[in-house]
Structure formats: structure tokens, C-alpha cells
Amino acid sequence: MPSIIQVQDVSKAYRRDSFDIPVLNNISLEIPEGEFLALMGPSGSGKTTLLNLIAGIDRPNKGTIVVGGTNIASLNESHLAKWRSTHVGFVFQFYNLLPVLTAFENVELPLLLTSLSKKDRKQHVEAVLTVVGLKDRMNHYPKQLSGGQEQRVAIARAIATDPTILVADEPTGDLDKSSADEILTLLERLNKEFKKTIVMVTHDPRAAEKAHTIRHLDKGELK
């Protein structure tokens, strides 16, 4: 299997006041297509940072990141934004749905950036909401849904554009056990049935169990 994500010699430090806080030190990582990878490690070890770099919402200080053949560090802001909209699906710990939009509208949001017609968008949205089992709730607002349901809508939003990779940062971190199980089962299914490459950050060993591979980050080093 060819690698869909290649991280090479990546370092990242955040600037706070006048000094740099190193977060990642010369990290290299290859993720093959169709992989379901869990990234674990203690708090503050740089998991989110690495995920953000792979997803193209942050830039490394050093090193290259190639996703699906594109060296994303070389793209300018607007190209990177365009690239994200078609290649990356995001799932966050706190769902990050827009409260003023219904489930349907939230899922439709990334599709507004495509050239799809209104009719096609509707088809897409309904299809992915069916995959996550919430088609009957599509006219509900986030506050009318449970946490697990909100996260399923967020997953539907993430896969609506059929992205190359799916990144999830502690997707079950805010959920009870049974909701978390639903989400994990859903991610597993997306990986198996829909062949989605998934990179998931998690603290939860039971979540990590569902993944094919588990990598540990500690003090900026990958193990």
C-alpha cells in the first residue's frame, strides 16, 4: 500500500512571549492509504499539534508533509484552504457545529464551497446523514441533539465532501461510554466500508483498540 501521508523530519515550536516552546522534534511518520491510526500520549505531548499539521491548519517550522501527493507546506494560504476543503474531513472533541444551523445545514456547509447544485447537495447531505443514522433528525438544531448525535452530525459534515483523509481529535473525549462506542463503531465502518484513511488522537485505550495501528507521542518524540 502506498503512503497517503508522509511526515518527514517535522519540527514545530510555538512562540510564547519571547521564547520558543518546542512541541515536536524531528518527527517522521508514514501512513498508508486505508489506515486507521490512533495517536496516543500524555497531555501536552503534541498530539493535536501533529494532527493539525497533517490536516493543513498549521505549518511546521521545519520538514515536509505530503498528503495524497501534495506537499502542503508549500501551498499558500488560499490554496491550502482550498486543499483542505476537498481533502480533509475534521472531527473535533467538542463537535464544533454551528448552533444557528440545522443538522442538514451544518452538513451542507462544506458543500457550499463546491460547484454542486442545490439538488446534488441535498442528495449528498441526505446520503451521509443516512450513513451516520440521523436522516430523521436533519431538521433539528444542535441543541436539540445529544452529544453523541452531535458528533455523528459532525462526522457526516467531515465526510460530506468525500475527503482523502479523516482527522479526529479526541472524538469521544466528551461522550459517555455508549455514545463513544457508537462513534467508534461508525469510524470503524467508515474505514472498512468506505475505505477512509483515519488519523485519530485519543486518550481512551478502548478507542485505540479499534484502530489498526497505535503510535505514541511523548515529549515531542514519536514511538
Q: How far is the CB of 30 from ligand ATP (least distance, A)?
A: 20
Q: At what angle do helices 118-131 and 147-159 cross, to 10 degrees?
A: 130
Amino acid identity at 90: F
User: Which backbone phi and psi does 48 adopt, to 5 degrees?
Assistant: -60, -40
Q: How far is the CB of 91 from other proteins (least distance, A)?
A: 11
Tell me whether residue 93 or residue 210 sits nearer to other proteins (CB atom). Answer: 93
Q: Is 104 in the site for other proteins (CB under 8 A)?
A: no
Q: Which of residues 40-69 bind ligand ATP (CB under 6 A)?
A: 41, 43-49
- Which residue has 514519536 as its cell numbers? 222
Given a contact cutoff of 8 angstroms between Cβ atoms, the answer to whether 65 and 54 are in contact is yes
Please give the residue ranges that form the binding site for Mg ion (CB under 5 A).
Answer: 48
Helix and strand numbers (H, E) in the chain are: 7, 10
Please tell me the distance from the alpha carbon of residue 181 to that of residue 90, in angstroms, as a whole number. 19
Tell me whether residue 36 or residue 90 sits nearer to other proteins (CB atom). Answer: 90
Q: Is 52 in the site for other proteins (CB under 8 A)?
A: yes
Residue of the chain from 74, 96, 123, 185 that contacts other proteins (CB under 8 A) = 96
Footprint of ligand ATP on this chain (CB under 6 A)?
Answer: 14, 16, 21, 23, 41, 43-49
